[in-house]
């Protein structure tokens, strides 16, 4: 991120997000155990997905797969769509996004505000339904589209290997001992994990996933019952933690009232996982990801039934 008086493009604002210490919700931990969250909501598109989206688009441009006349197409349950819509707008490429019809109204409006087109798949089919419909759209007009394909594109984890991981290492002065984050495409955990393991192979890489196939943790996947993303290699994880939707929601509410951080449900799940690890150790520095802020979920079940 530029620290000067101006920035050449909104895309130069992607990354270099702040790392904040969790205090109130970690007050029962020993002094030597510290928990930090990386606030990815500070990215210009409002989520962690700006990083892989930008790297995938840049990779497509470099390889000539995306060039003038092409439209960016992908399936997304939300944040990747917003990121691609922003990037497409900034670079002058049209964007079409396939997403389940039960995505929140805020998401539809944000994506439309960037000028992107939404193609709806059945909410009953979840994100896998969007993946399948997107494949059909592409098959019907393959020359029209550039599909970043976040589930199978190595430029997704690479974004985190090049940026998120080194930032965490730097921001903790190399003290990080555990990295805990949710499994969606697997991009964040694969890439950040690879970078951190290169700095220090002893750093534990721990995945958070919904405890059941039927869950309400937007952006996260229950791998055993999902189409497993091609970029996800479970053997690179040291551990996986199953997290319940309701405990994640409760954590989101506590983060708002006790820490002053209103975030999305995946952030709540990530902190539940991070605190589980924190309670097991006597000393260490645990870093997790707060994927986005909570504003874009105000109309969803997370808040609507409060």
Partner 1 sequence: MPISVRIPTPLRKFTAGAESVSASGATVGALVEDVESRHPGLKERICDDAGKVRRFVNVYVNGEDIRFLGSLDTPVKDGDEISIVPAIAGGTRA
The catalytic residue positions are 49, 266
Which residues in the 42-61 window bind partner 1 by CB under 8 A? none
Does residue 211 bind partner 1 (CB under 8 A)?
no
Residue 209 CA to residue 61 CA, distance in Å, equals 33
Q: What angle separates helix 105-113 from helix 79-91, to the nearest 10 degrees?
A: 10
Residue 147 CA to residue 144 CA, distance in Å, equals 10
Question: Which one of 19-27, 38-46, 53-61, 242-250 is the stretch in contact with partner 1 (CB under 8 A)?
Answer: 242-250
Which residues in the 260-279 window bind partner 1 by CB under 8 A? none
Does residue 99 bind partner 1 (CB under 8 A)?
yes
Residues 6+ apart with CB under 8 A from 45: 14, 53, 79, 82, 83, 85, 86, 87
- Contact pattern for partner 1 over residues 71 through 90, marking x by CB under 8 A: ------xx------------
Residue placing its CB nearer to partner 1 in the complex, 276 or 301: 301
Count residues contacting partner 1 (CB under 8 A)? 36
Rounded to a whole number of angstroms, the minimum distance from the CB of residue 113 to partner 1 is 16
DSSP 8-state secondary structure symbol assigned to residue 212? S
Among 71, 102, 172, 276, binds partner 1 (CB under 8 A): 102
Query: What is the H or E stretch that residue 189 is in?
Result: helix 187-199
Main-chain phi, psi angles of 154, to 5 degrees = -65, -15
Question: Which one of 38-46, 141-149, 213-221, 285-293 is the stretch in contact with partner 1 (CB under 8 A)?
Answer: 213-221
Q: Is there a contact between 101 and 121 (Cβ–Cβ < 8 Å)?
A: yes
Rounded to a whole number of angstroms, the minimum distance from the CB of residue 213 to partner 1 is 4
Per DSSP (E only), the strands in the chain are 19-21, 33-39, 71-75, 95-100, 117-121, 145-146, 178-182, 204-210, 239-243, 284-290
- Contact pattern for partner 1 over residues 113 through 132, marking x by CB under 8 A: ----------xxxxxxx---
Residue placing its CB nearer to partner 1 in the complex, 168 or 183: 183
Among 93, 249, 290, 293, binds partner 1 (CB under 8 A): 249
Residue placing its CB nearer to partner 1 in the complex, 171 or 266: 266
Task: Give the N- to C-terminal CA distance of the chain in Å, as an integer.
Answer: 37
Contact positions toward partner 1, by CB under 8 A?
77-78, 99-105, 107, 123-129, 212-218, 222, 225, 245-246, 249, 297, 299-302, 304-305
């Amino acid at each position: 991120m530029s620290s000067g008086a101006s920035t050449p493009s909104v895309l130069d604002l992607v990354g270099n997000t702040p790392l904040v210490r969790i205090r109130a919700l970690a007050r029962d931990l020993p002094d030597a155990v510290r928990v930090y969250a990386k606030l990815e909501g500070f990215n210009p598109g409002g989520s962690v997905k700006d990083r892989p989206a930008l790297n995938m688009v840049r990779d497509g441009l470099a390889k000539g797969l995306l060039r003038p006349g092409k439209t960016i197409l992908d399936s997304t349950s939300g944040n990747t769509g917003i990121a691609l819509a922003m990037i497409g707008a900034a670079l002058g490429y049209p964007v079409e996004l396939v997403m389940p019809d039960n995505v929140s109204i805020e998401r539809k409006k944000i994506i439309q505000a960037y000028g992107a087109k939404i193609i709806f798949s059945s909410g009953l089919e979840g994100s896998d339904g969007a993946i399948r419909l997107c494949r059909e759209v592409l098959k019907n007009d393959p020359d029209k589209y550039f599909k970043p394909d976040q589930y199978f594109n190595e430029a997704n984890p690479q974004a985190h290997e090049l940026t998120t991981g080194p930032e965490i290492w730097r921001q903790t002065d190399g003290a990080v001992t555990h990295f805990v984050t949710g499994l969606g495409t697997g991009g964040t955990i694969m890439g950040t994990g690879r970078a951190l393991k290169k700095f220090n192979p002893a750093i534990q890489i721990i995945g958070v996933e919904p405890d059941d196939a039927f869950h309400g943790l937007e952006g996260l996947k229950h791998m055993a019952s999902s189409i497993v993303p091609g970029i996800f290699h479970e053997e690179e994880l040291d551990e996986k933690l199953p997290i319940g939707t309701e405990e994640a929601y409760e954590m989101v509410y506590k983060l708002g009232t006790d820490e002053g951080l209103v975030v999305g449900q995946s952030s709540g799940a990530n902190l539940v996982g991070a605190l589980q690890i924190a309670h097991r150790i006597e000393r260490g520095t645990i870093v997790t990801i707060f994927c986005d802020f909570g504003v874009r979920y105000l109309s969803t079940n997370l808040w609507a039934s409060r």
